[in-house]
Structure 1
Amino acid sequence: MAITMSMATGNNFQEAETPLLYDVARGSVDFKGRPAARSKSGCWKSASFIIGVELAERFAYYGINSNLVSYLTGPLGQSTATAAVNVNTWSGTAWLTPLLCAFVADSFLGRYRMILVACLLYILGLGFLSLSAALHSVHSSDCRNARNSTACPPSQLEVIFFFFSLYLVALAQGGNKPCVQAFGADQFDEEDEEESLAKSSFFNWWNFFLSTAVMLSLLVLNYIQENLSWALGFGIPCVVMCVALIVFSLGTMTYRYSIDRDRRSPLVRIGQAFVKTARNWRILPHEGAEVEALTEDEKVYFSNDIEAAKTILRLVPIWATSLGYGIVYSQVIPPSYHSIHGIFLSLLAMVIAALIETKRLAVAVEYGVVDTPKAMVPMSVWWLAPQYLVFGVADVFTFIGFQEFFYDQVPTEFRSLGLALYLSIFGMGNFLSSFLITIISRATSGHGHDGWFSDNLNRAHLDYFYWLLAGLSAVAFAAYLYFAKIYVYYRKISV
């Protein structure tokens, strides 16, 4: 009888415990450090808070980025070429800082804390930008009253303060971008079939809301900045980010926080793997016993470190051959195999842009408005629709394809770094674009000639630049096809 009761008790215990085991999301804990229960944490209820942060962040970022050239050539009085270089340099920095911030997040702060820090930096940077624009407005108003003139260049201090604020926003974007998306994807358990499918749709919804934020930013903030006030146009995103920080904090108790059994920094692990491999390669045959002087656990970790390093190295050719798309993307004011379609479409969009610009220049000559740059060229705005339509479709393929590829093709603890590599494509694209613009501007504008980037767009030759980008994209596309074909896909390592 006692045995029966004991068995019954054991069965009751098993029945009580089994659902709890099935309910645990492996590799994740809740905000108190306990194993995260699927029924009480993660999935869409948590991801919705994180998507809200991304919606606000993209609204704020493109509220600055999309109209930055207008501010630099307007209130700050810079030339078109100088403004283009400054915008590309800033954008490149904003897209490359995720590499640094991903390292800090994966090694020290964690994704959740890094997102909090990034939101605070955004609020500070946007607040400073709004203050900078307000101070310039007061200065230019006093200047016009004193000189009775509209020519009121900003002071050196104003310019320094503006760019300090601008690069603070770039740093904030660097902290937010690789962590917020990885943190959102972390809310779905890959070992659960239903949640694994939900994670795939998460990336699609992510890009839908991202595009929605960009569209709202272009429609609302650009109008406010151009027609009402630059200070207000920079201040509204600051308020939006304050709301986003509150919304993100509200979801704290529902989030799943990833844990890593190996507490070493991911980049340190890769570095140690390379160092150990180099040492072993140099060891003489009779010294081989030293190589084996590792515990079984150390051997497992070393083997996994080597495989992790290999996965990162395998990404490099794909990353490098995607830079052509990054350069093309840097020319547009925003908005694996899926990415192949997007890269090809971006090449096609450059060809269309070159043809339309050639047509626009011909119309300017035909109607005699070449030397009146402020005159309206008699062409319908719908001529621009084809290239933007193709760019939009290219973004759908490329963004989603790159995001899933760089997220899935790295070990779990490297996912912030993987997404940072994806983002750095656009950063390097902006820097390469800035380099091309500088070189071409110097080469084509000497001896009194109008260069490709003349302030008078009717005498400029953006069509030549677009053809150049199309050619570079074609070369990069061919290389991308080759490396995509030979790429060896990463399989998750179980420890």
Structure 2
Amino acid sequence: MKEEYGGDEGFNQLSLSASNKLRRGWMDFISNFDSQFPYMDDSPILNDAIPGNRRSQSGGWRAAGVIIGVEIAERFAFFGISTNLVSYLTVEMEQSMASAAQNVNLWIGTASLLPLVAASFADSFLGRYLTIILASALYILGLGLLTLSAMLASPSSFQGSGSAASAATGASARPVLHVVLFFSSLYLVAFAQGGHKPCLQAFGCDQFDGEDPQECIAKCSFFNWWYFATTLGSFIALIILSYIQDNLGWCLGFGIPCISSLVALLVFLLGTQTYRFVTIANDEEKPFMRIGRVFFNAARNWRTASSEIDISEEGQDAMLYRRCGQLRFLNKALVAPVDSDDDGKTCNIVEVEEAKGVLRLIPIWIASLSYAIVLSQCSTFFVKQGSTMDRSIRPSFKIPAATIQCFGCIAVVLFVPIYDRLLVPIARIFTLKPSGISMLQRIGVGMFISTLSMVVAALVEVKRLAVAREHGLTQNPNSTIPITIWWLTPQLLLLGVSSVFTMVGLQEFFYDQVSSEVKSVGLALYLSIFGVGNLLSSLLVSVIEEATGGDDGRGGWFANNINKAHLDYFYWLLAGIGKVGLLAYVYFANSYVYKYNVER
């Protein structure tokens, strides 16, 4: 081949020419890309206030509205898979109820923890905008493969002599190809969601400048309407996709979320001209490297006495943080070791306070786990209770037991506008805060309401069991107890209202209290609360089942016959856990110093 171009020299010249053309083409692409999106740099992170001329040309509610619409479609797709996944695993995959529940809990927990990894990568390397696009593409691919696996799961293809045996043992008789394709695509969806959700919300928050008073108020409102959008998307999926999957087939039930994700990506791209891309200098050290260096230097200087640390040299930066006396051991990162002349590796006061800010979030994160454990019951035991109650609306129509989850969604959809447009303005008059009440106060109110919901749930279960005993139905778990399913609505409505306080408050808190370079990671920390909470809830159920002697499904608090079980005891226990978590939360919240108070 080289001889055709004049030997080695001619071939090398041709290769060099092609390489130069490729490089020039790439630089032209980057130049055109920058001219189309003048506010976007290599890393979409905000350091300073946005100039007034840019503020009027980009961002705001116009851009945030597009992003909220994308979130509705994404939640519609995700909940379209998750809400009815147990049914698919037990019916189509022929798994036992225990195996299906374990797989669902593991998948949801993984999906809630993956944002920590994806958001860290986005904030340090790729940026939020490009991460959203890449995650959306993986989302579409995962849902497309999930639809393909449903197409391969033709009932006639798997009928055989092993079906009865597999059903008896709880194992799946499905071919290995179908099982591998299904779970691979399922976890691809979880991975894509891990990159999509925290970055999309952080990108939506970037459309508002926290340094501008009016946009600061709008940003507080954004968190309310964001949660409204997520609930609306899940509500639509619960109503529409559950019916389609049960009655029209899983291919269509998985295919519609795939189409929804594709439309969401197109809408997101069409809105690019309206977005506000906020940047930092490309030569800055990555945020996690800075934070890690603070902890390393503090550990290296652990023998240094506090009296030897002088921050007066830091000038104005020191004055910004002088009021904050928490976590003083990290101040040791400000000095160089005695046996070292290299002052270049020491940290400044801004970097130390950045690391302190991350560390101060941990107690709030831990205390919030009790709320996540309570919230995880909504899609498990509440539904099981509802399946034994009178679900008749008309003599010829019964609502599905899973539909009772809609009451929590309805509470959110109705209460968010009331909270945002009525309660916040009233509270703002007395507190003079843009958000009405502080973020930590809002979280605490929701935790109190969630604990109250468990008390109500326990009392309702006592009533349900009493009616079952009164009519002699304790030995028949498949019979309908003459007590209406509407008895479950108070606890669901309370949980829905509590989520407007706590979940929205946690979103705003973890976004606001981290440095601007790691906003996506802050929201990923919020999501990880519910991932860990879901796993802890599963562990709690396993421990109680073992402790109460119900591991064979015949007795204990979680007996297969729910009319002989003691879910009321479990709800009382959850109320106690919620109370302990609330007390711990109040203690940590009272000692917390807001980043706003420190920096301003």
Q: Alpha-carbon deviations, 1:101-149, whole Å to 9, x = none?
A: 111001111111111122112112222222222322x1x2344588998
Task: Find the counterpart in structure 2 of residue 8 from structure 1.
Answer: none
In the other structure, the counterpart of 1:364 is 468
Does structure 1 residue 199 correspond to structure 2 residue 214?
no
Counterpart for residue 376 of structure 2: 330
Decide whether the 8 Å contact of 1:30 with 1:253 is kept in 2.
no
Report the AA paired with residue 259 of structure 2.
V
| 1-structure distance, mates of 2:79, 2:336 | 59
Once residues 170 and 251 of structure 1 are traced to their aligned partners in structure 2, the CA distance between those partners, rounded to angstroms, is 25
2:38, 2:208 → 1: CA distance?
13
Structure 1 residue 265 corresponds to structure 2 residue 286 = yes
Distance 2:97 2:468 in 1: 19
> Once the two structures are superposed, what CA deviation does each residue of 1:66-106 show, in whole Å capped at 9, x if it has no partner?
22222223323333333333222211111111111111001
C-alpha displacement of 1:322: 0.4
* One of 180, 204, 208 as aligned partner of 2:200: 180
Normalised to the residue count of structure 2, the TM-score between the two structures is 0.71
Tell me, what secondary structure is at the counterpart of 1:407?
helix
Match among 528, 532, 538 for residue 424 of structure 1? 528
Look up the match of 1:464. 569
Structure 1 residues 101-250: aligned runs within 5 Å = 101-136=118-153, 138=154, 140-144=155-159, 153-155=172-174, 157=176, 158-250=178-270
The farther-off stretch of 364-373 and 475-484 is: 364-373
For structure 1, which segment, 144-153 or 368-377, has the greater mean C-alpha deviation from structure 2 after superposition?
144-153
Q: State whether structure 2 residue 70 is matched by structure 1 residue 53.
A: yes
Structure 2 residue matching 1:332: 3-state secondary structure: helix
Name which structure has the greater RCO, CA cutoff 8 Å, separation 6+. Answer: 1
Shift of 1:272: 0.7
Distance 1:290 1:182, change over 3 A: farther
Deviates more, 1:433-442 or 1:112-121: 433-442
Q: How far did residue 305 of structure 1 move?
A: 1.6
Give the secondary-structure state (helix, strand or coil) at the position aligned to 2:239.
Answer: helix
Residues 22-76 of structure 1, C-alpha deviation per residue, up to 9 Å, x if partnerless?
xxxxxx9614789871222111121122111111111111112222222223323
User: In structure 1, which of residues 70, 80, 85 is the aligned counterpart of residue 87 of structure 2?
Assistant: 70
Q: Structure 1 residues 208, 311: CA separation in 2 closer, same or farther (over 3 Å shift)?
A: same
- Tell me how far apart the structure 1 counterparts of residues 488 and 451 of structure 2 sit (CA, whole Å): 16
Q: CA deviation at 1:361?
A: 2.6
Structure 2 CA distance for aligned equivalents of residues 439 and 456 of structure 1? 19
Aligned partner of 2:351 in structure 1 is 305
The 1-side partners of 2:63 and 2:567 are apart by 46
Distance 2:96 2:475 in 1: 17
Counterparts of 1:107 and 1:244, CA distance in 2: 25
1:481 aligns with 586
Q: Percent identity?
A: 52
Describe the shift of the 1:360–1:231 C-alpha distance in structure 2 as closer, same or farther (beyond 3 A).
farther
Return the alpha-carbon distance in structure 1 between the equivalents of residues 338 and 476 of structure 2. 80
CA contact (8 A) 2:93 2:174 kept: no
Change (3 A) 1:164 1:372: farther
- CA distance 1:144–1:367, change in 2 (3 Å): farther
Distance 1:341 1:305, change over 3 A: same
Distance 2:92 2:141 in 1: 22
Query: Would the aligned equivalents of 1:130 and 1:235 in 2 still touch at CA under 8 Å?
Result: yes
Distance 1:464 1:160, change over 3 A: farther
Question: What pairs up with 1:363-442 in 2 under 5 angstroms?
Answer: 363-442=467-546
Rounded to whole Å, the distance in 2 between the matches of 1:112 and 1:289 is 45
In structure 1, runs of 5+ residues without a counterpart are 1-27
User: Measured at CA, do residues 423 and 292 of structure 1 come closer, stay the same or move farther in structure 2, by a change above 3 Å?
Assistant: farther
Structure 1 residue 362 displacement after superposition: 2.8
In structure 2, the CA distance between the partners of 1:370 and 1:80, relative to structure 1 (3 Å rule), is farther
Equivalent residue letter for 1:155? R
Distance 1:75 1:461 in 2: 31
Structure 2 counterpart of 1:276: 297
Amino acid at match of 2:355: A
- The one-letter code matched in structure 2 to 1:457 is I
Comparing 322-331 with 163-172, greater Cα deviation is found at 163-172
Determine if contact 1:144/1:151 at 8 Å carries over to the other structure.
no
For the 8 Å contact 2:166–2:173, the answer to whether it is kept is no
Aligned length: 463
Mapped to 2, the partners of 1:186 and 1:290 lie a distance apart of 44
Letter in 1 for 2:469: V
Deviation readout 1:242-298 (Å, 9 max, x if unpaired): 000000011122212221246322222111111122223346989867778546xx8
Aligned position for 2:422:
none
Equivalents in 2 of 1:294, 1:404: separation in Å? 37
Name the SS of the counterpart of 1:38 in structure 2.
helix
Quick one: distance in 2 between partners of 1:279 and 1:148?
A: 63
Relative distance call for 1:265 and 1:324 in structure 2 (3 A) is same
- Alpha-carbon deviation of 1:182? 0.7
Once residues 287 and 475 of structure 1 are traced to their aligned partners in structure 2, the CA distance between those partners, rounded to angstroms, is: 43
Q: Distance in 2 between matches of 1:148 and 1:127?
A: 28
Encode CA deviations 1:211-251: one digit per residue, 9 max, x unaligned: 21121111111111122212211111110000000000111
Instruction: Provide the residue aligned with 1:453 in structure 2.
Output: 558
Aligned partners of 2:482 and 2:460: how far apart in 1? 13
> Which stretch of the first structure deviates more once superposed, 271-280 or 237-246?
271-280
Residue identity in the other structure for 2:272: T
Look up the match of 2:116. Answer: 99
CA RMSD, Structure 1 to Structure 2 (Å): 2.9
Retained in 1: the 8 A contact 2:119–2:199? yes
Residues 1:346 and 2:434 aligned together: no
Instruction: Compute the displacement of 1:494 (Å).
Output: 7.5
AA in 1 matched with 2:269: S
- SS of 2:461's partner is helix
**CA 1:454–1:79 in structure 2 vs 1: closer, same or farther (change >3 Å)?**
farther
Distance 1:492 1:237, change over 3 A: farther
CA contact (8 A) 1:88 1:330 kept: no
CA contact (8 A) 1:411 1:492 kept: no
User: How big is each residue's C-alpha offset from its partner over 1:288-317, in whole Å with a ceiling of 9 and x where there is no partner?
Assistant: 67778546xx87x63222111100111100
Counterpart code for 1:82: S
Offset at 1:453? 3.0
CA distance in 1, matches of 2:479, 2:554: 21
State how far apart, in whole Å, the 2-side matches of 1:340 and 1:448 are: 37
Alignment partners' CA distance in 1, 2:175 and 2:468: 38
CA contact (8 A) 1:280 1:291 kept: no
Tell me how far apart the structure 2 counterparts of residues 492 and 105 of structure 1 sit (CA, whole Å): 28
Residue number in structure 2 paired with 1:89: 106
